[in-house]
C-alpha cells in the first residue's frame, strides 16, 4: 500500500512508484515538429537522441533505427489527426528497478502530441524582454548538452521570469558566461559577426542551432563564430535572438535598458522556411 495525496491505495494503482523517470529523472527526450506529415530535421533529432541514450548508458534496442523512430511518431500523429502541423515529444526512460543503480539498462518510451497553428516558421512581432537568471548556474559538462528530464533550472528560471514580467531569461554557466535561454539557444549579432556560445560552455546541442549555423555560413560578408559571450557583451550587441525547433527564431527586443533591432532575425526566418520547402 502507498499514501497518495492522503489516501491509502494499492501500490499497483499508481504507476509512478517504480518509474525511474519520475523518481530520479532517469530519462532523455526529443521534441520534434511535424509539418504536412513530415518530421523536420529527422536525422538530427534521431542521432541526438541516440547520442543522449549512449551518454547516460541506456541500452538501445536493435530495432530502434531511424525508420522506427519516424514510424512511431507519425503513427500517433495520424491517429490524433495532427498531420498538418504539430509537435511531438518522445521521452525515453530506463525501465523500473533499483535505486541509483538500475537493475538493468533496458528502456521504454512515451510519445505524446500537441497541435500547432502554423505550417511555417514566423517571427513574433511583440516586444520580448529578457534578463539574466542568476539563482542557479549551468555546469560546463557533457550532460548539460543533452536533453534529460532534469530541467529544474529551466523551471525555476521560468517562474522567476513570470514573477518579474519577463518573457524569458538567459542562463549563465559556472564561469558566469552566457549559455542559452530558458527555451533555446542564444545568438548575438555584432556588426558583421554572428556569435553563439560553443557546446563546451554547457549549452544544449540544439537541432535548430545547427540549422541556423548552417544557413548563416552561406550568407556573404557574415562571419559566423562559436565563442564565449559574457553578460557585458550582450549590451554591445546589435541583435539577440533565441532558437528552438518549435518556435524557430524568437528575436529579443529588450535586455535591461537596451533595445535591439530584429532585421537579421527576419532574414534568417525566410531562409529557414525556404530551406524547409526545398527539401
Give yes or no for a contact between 172 and 179, defined as CB atoms under 8 angstroms apart: yes
> Per residue in 110-157, pLDDT tens?
999 999 999 999 988 899 999 999 999 999 999 999 999 999 999 999
Kindly report the CA angle at 17 between 13 and 23, in degrees rounded to 5? 150
Q: What is the pTM of this model?
A: 0.94
In angstroms, how far is CA 235 from the centroid of its own chain?
25
- The pLDDT score that the predictor gives to residue 72 is 98
- Give the cell for residue 187: 545568438
Residue with cell 553578460: 231
Nearest to 40 by CA among 77, 4, 6, 14: 77
pLDDT at 171: 98
The span from the CA of 121 to the CA of 111, in Å, is 23
Q: How far apart are CA 54 and CA 48, in angstroms?
A: 10
pLDDT tens-digit map of 68-88? 999 999 999 999 999 999 999
Amino acid at each position: 500500500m502507498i499514501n497518495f495525496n492522503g489516501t491509502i491505495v494499492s501500490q499497483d494503482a499508481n504507476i509512478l512508484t517504480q518509474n525511474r523517470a519520475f523518481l530520479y529523472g532517469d530519462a532523455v527526450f526529443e521534441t520534434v515538429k511535424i509539418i504536412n506529415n513530415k518530421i523536420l530535421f529527422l536525422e538530427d533529432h534521431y542521432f541526438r537522441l541516440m547520442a543522449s541514450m549512449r551518454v547516460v548508458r541506456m541500452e538501445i534496442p536493435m530495432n530502434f533505427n531511424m525508420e522506427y523512430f519516424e514510424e512511431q511518431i507519425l503513427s500517433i500523429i495520424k491517429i490524433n489527426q495532427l498531420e498538418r502541423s504539430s509537435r511531438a515529444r518522445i521521452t525515453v526512460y530506463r525501465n523500473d528497478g533499483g535505486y541509483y543503480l538500475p537493475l538493468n539498462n533496458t528502456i521504454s518510451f512515451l510519445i505524446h502530441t500537441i497541435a500547432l497553428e502554423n505550417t511555417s516558421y514566423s517571427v513574433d512581432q511583440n516586444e520580448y524582454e529578457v534578463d539574466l537568471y542568476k539563482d542557479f548556474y549551468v555546469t560546463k559538462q557533457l550532460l548539460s548538452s543533452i536533453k534529460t528530464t532534469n530541467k529544474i533550472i529551466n523551471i525555476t528560471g521560468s517562474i522567476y521570469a513570470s514573477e518579474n514580467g519577463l518573457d524569458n531569461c538567459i542562463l549563465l554557466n559556472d564561469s558566469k558566461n552566457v549559455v542559452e535561454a530558458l527555451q533555446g539557444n542564444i545568438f548575438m549579432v555584432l556588426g558583421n559577426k554572428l556569435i553563439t556560445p560553443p557546446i563546451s560552455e554547457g549549452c544544449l546541442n540544439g537541432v535548430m542551432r545547427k540549422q541556423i549555423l548552417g544557413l548563416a555560413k552561406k550568407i556573404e560578408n557574415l562571419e559566423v563564430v562559436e565563442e564565449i559571450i559574457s553578460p557585458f557583451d550582450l549590451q554591445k550587441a546589435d541583435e539577440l535572438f533565441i532558437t528552438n525547433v518549435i518556435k524557430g527564431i524568437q528575436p529579443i527586443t529588450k535586455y535591461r535598458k537596451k533595445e535591439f533591432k530584429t532585421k537579421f532575425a527576419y532574414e534568417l526566418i525566410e531562409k529557414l522556411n525556404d530551406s524547409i520547402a526545398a527539401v
